Amino acid sequence: MAPHHVLKCCQRSLAWIPVIFINLVVGWSYYAYVVELCIFTIPNNAEKISYLVVFHLFFIMFIWSYWKTICSRPASPSKEFCLAKVEKEQYEKEQPDAQQDILKKAAVGLPVYTRTGTGAVRYCDHCQVIKPDRCHHCSTCDMCVLKMDHHCPWVNNCVGFSNYKFFVLFLAYSMLYCVFIAATVLQYFIKFWTNQLPDTHAKFHVLFLFFVAAMFFISILSLFSYHLWLVGKNRTTIEAFRAPVFRNGPDKNGFSLGFSRNVVEVFGDQKKYWMFPIYTSRPNEMEQSSQKSKR
């Protein structure tokens, strides 16, 4: 048992490497932009101040949404989806066909409408729960996650019901952060590249800052666009690749409530909070989605 725990501990420690890498890059970009560009390179004070104000606005929103995505614990199924002690003991003794009969009886009073590919009740043997609609087991987090989208190594967390809004905002603000840096650095990048500015220690930081910002912007843009499409369709990444199966068969649009309501499902009813990484999703989102699917 000891080696297993040591291995688990090592895996959990190594999982933070991508997060540390992102934070180191962001920390360096902050230094390069604020100190090397704004303080040492830009001569005009008005331009310098305006750049710093907008930069810090994007920086704060980016860091806020990023760490909210990291720190939000994935939502797991409630106790009502667990089998009763007697049912669990009986389930463990029976053969697969008899086990399904037990699960079907237990799921009668639950808002569960999706099935496995073979039409069976979705059950997690590891967590020992009947899976709610859109719930999947994450082997990395070692738990069942409600409305699981994917496990993201860059935030070392599962992206799902509890933090999907934060993840989308993280992509949006990181993209804005990168494009703002690239756009404002460009003229000084050209001046350094063409030797219009003296060859100082800021040259390396400014040149490299432009390349890094442009590279990250291009890579994040495609991912952000894809997740905006998912929000509009009310799908997860898992459902985009494998349509959920209902009692009457697979239906890739089974959870769609219409574009505007799909957006509200993620960002909440109050538009004034959409741009902030605070929890605004409706608590009965899962139930409403399931009821729509049943209809």
Continuous H helices in 234-276: 237-241, 259-267
Token output for 286: 């899962």
DSSP letters for 72-89: SPPP---GGGBPPHHHHH
- Give the separation between CA 266 and CA 210, rounded to whole angstroms: 33
pLDDT lower than 50: segments of the chain: 1, 283-295
Token output for 144: 């069942």
3-class secondary-structure state, position 27: helix
Query: Which pLDDT value is given to residue 288?
Result: 45
Which helix (DSSP H) or strand (DSSP E) does residue 17 occupy? helix 17-31
Query: Which pLDDT value is given to residue 200?
Result: 86
Catalytic residue status for 127: no
Q: Exactly one of 135, 144, 152, 178 is catalytic; which is it?
A: 152
* pLDDT tens-place string over residues 15-45: 999 999 999 999 999 999 999 999 999 999 9
Q: Terminus-to-terminus CA distance in the chain, angstroms? A: 49
Within its chain, how far is the Cα of 183 from the centroid?
Answer: 27
Query: Which pLDDT value is given to residue 289?
Result: 43
Is the pTM of the predicted complex or chain greater than 0.75? yes
Query: Which pLDDT value is given to residue 38?
Result: 96
HEC secondary structure over 51-70: HHHHHHHHHHHHHHHHHHHH
Asked if 151 contacts 160 with a C-beta cutoff of 8 angstroms, the reply is: no
Task: DSSP letter for 137, please.
Answer: E
